[in-house]
A and B are shown apart, each in its own frame.
Chain A
């Protein structure tokens, strides 16, 4: 990770969970789930959801393995919430199959294996925070002590306030408490930090890290790229209901061509340049060559090995944000230009 200047300061290891288990070699675009043993905690098999003429989720296939912290990343309307709703048995897929811990989502929720927090979840009014958490704890077959939950969610300080008199950020933390008040194996969070300020967000991820340290699996949807980059050890990028990319943050960046390499050449040979290793995108303007590459070192060495002597060499890294934009923009372009039979590097993922 160190070689990427993502602009987010701290290195991945300050946030990540069990990162050492993963090879993070840029360019490694093999299916991520295959690298982990054991049966999947969650599996989506060609899942689609149709609302009238709108296809909100379109043939989604993915596996989550035990202990992973996975970010579901996508622009608004990408199908994140619908996917989570189906995972949590709130909605039924139009087609396809979802399995959670080897059974159907409804059973997984009712046996307490999944704890979840949705943006749309409300709270019972007229009771105190402590009363509410105590109540929901009672629903769980394997409850956590109420005091522990209050502390972990950072809501002990206002536990005796009435639920309907809390601020947005406080309400969000109470909802989080309800998601973790049982000993669930899988925690699902939809945009968990939306109403939180920076400091609360930091505290939130610190406590989340504790939650998953014991081998729990975490799936969270977000549109904060920084959050996905720092907290997740695997990112699923979805757009228009389809899975576009699946890998570690480093892989996602590599997938979009994580580095931009530019130089000037007196004699430009485009077919040669297109054959360069790691090349994702090529732009040539007169003598200026701009390359997006998943492995800028290899790309550059290949240019030199061929006997070229490029001038004004510049190598800049792309952040996850640019990677994400590149991936979704490419997808949107494909959608609007569906007739073109262009092959894209992305389709190998």
Chain B
């Protein structure tokens, strides 16, 4: 386990040096929040400032867990780094575990910074437990995308990861209602996305003090699906990595 943690630590320090990563996970959500955070409207029965805080925190965290990881895993597989690791005493699953741990660690800043912005710029007032529950819901929700990143990174070559990552990025942002609250037909369709579930859990907690079971189940189902895809992808490349 210590080897896996050492690898995760190295992954985190690599990410910290990466400007692109900081732009996507922190700079973009902060900028959007500064521009749109004070819109006078409602989103899922809570103030827009509160909805948009949840949306932007999820946006930063999910794109950080997905885009960057999928690209890197694919590249590192192509370069033979994964193969190199298999020649060390590090356990076989350590690479994937370290990637997920690192992305969990590096999505924390985007959540914390956007939440601070929500509190002091958007004037969102919540009891302490609601802050904590919302942050945890978003944080755990990003695991879904860390798993998808593993599936995509193992299955596709770097050249094809780029367009797929863009599609995933926009699809789950827009149809998950991260940028604006969903309504009507769009909502009927978007309800099924994991990003929608995560945002809905948080806004329900903020508005009503509890989340709907169906959304929690939704998150779990998506997680199981993506972990399954990731496992298949990793296994299918066992002899070629």
A interface residue numbers (CB < 8 A to B) = 88-92, 109-112, 114-118, 120-127, 131, 135-136, 138-141, 175, 178-179, 182
Contacts and interface: CB of A to CB of B under 8 A. Distances in A.
Nearest to B3: A139
B83 A92 contact: no
A182 B239 CA distance: 25
B76 interface: yes
A48 to B, nearest CB: 15
- Give the one of A89, A91, A124, A135 with max B CB within 10 A: A124
Query: A92, A115, A136: which has the most chain B beta carbons within 10 Å?
Result: A136
B6 A135 contact: yes
Contacts of B7: 135, 139
A88 B89 contact: no
Nearest to A89: B86
A90 B83 contact: yes
Nearest to A121: B84
B6 to A, nearest CB: 4
Nearest to B9: A135
B164 interface: no
B2 interface: yes
Given A120-B80, A121-B83, A131-B10, A111 B18 contact: no
A118 B239 contact: no
Given A126-B17, A135-B10, A111 B89 contact: yes
| A-B interface, 9 closest residue pairs, ranked by CB to CB distance from nearest | A122-B80, A122-B79, A121-B84, A122-B81, A139-B3, A112-B89, A138-B6, A116-B87, A139-B90
Interface residues of B, number: 25
A168 to B, nearest CB: 14
Contact of A122 (B14, B76, B90, B92): B76
B91 interface: yes
A114 B89 CA distance: 9
Given A91-B239, A110-B91, A135-B6, A123 B86 contact: no
A247 B103 CA distance: 52
B81 A123 contact: yes
Contact of A126 (B14, B80, B83, B86): B14
B88 A140 contact: yes
Nearest to A136: B88
Contacts of B87: 88, 90, 109, 114-118, 121, 178-179
12 contacts: A90-B239, A118-B84, A118-B87, A120-B80, A120-B83, A123-B79, A125-B79, A127-B10, A138-B6, A139-B88, A178-B88, A179-B87
Contacts of B90: 110, 139
Given A127-B10, A139-B7, 8 more contacts: A118-B83, A118-B84, A121-B84, A122-B78, A122-B80, A135-B7, A179-B87, A182-B88
B81 A127 contact: no
A115 B154 CA distance: 25
A262 B144 CA distance: 77
- Among A89, A114, A138, A182, the one with the most B-chain Cβ atoms within 10 Å of its Cβ is A138
A127 B89 contact: no
Contacts of A114: 87
A91 B79 CA distance: 18
B84 A123 contact: yes
A116 B83 CA distance: 11
B84 A122 contact: yes
Given A90-B86, A109-B87, A120-B83, A139 B76 contact: no
Interface string B57-100: 00000000000000000001011111110111111100000000
